[in-house]
Amino acid sequence: MPWRIVVRHGPHVEKLRCQTLPEALDALEERARAVANGPKLDAVDVHVRTFSPADQISARAELKGPQRLRPFIHAGIDVRGDGSIVAWSGGMRREQITMVGGETAYAALRRAVQSTKVEP
Q: What is the mean pLDDT of each run of 10 residues along the chain (120 residues)?
A: 88 93 93 84 85 86 86 90 90 86 92 72
Per-residue confidence (pLDDT) for residue 119, from 0 to 100 = 52
pLDDT at res. 117: 59
The pLDDT value recorded for residue 120 is: 45
Q: Is residue 120 part of a domain?
A: no
Residue 74: inside a domain, yes or no?
A: yes
The whole-model pTM stands at 0.83
Provide the residue range defining the domain that includes 28. 3-114
Asked whether residue 49 is assigned to any structural domain, the reply reads yes
Residue 35 lies in a domain: yes
Residues whose CB falls within 8 Å of the CB of residue 21, separated by 6 or more in sequence, listed in order: 3, 65, 66, 113, 114, 118
Q: Is 13 a member of any domain? A: yes
∠ CA(101), CA(102), CA(103), 5° rounding?
A: 95
Question: For residue 6, what pLDDT is reported?
Answer: 94
Is residue 119 assigned to a domain?
no
Q: Is residue 76 part of a domain?
A: yes
105: nearest Cα among 117, 81, 82, 88: 88
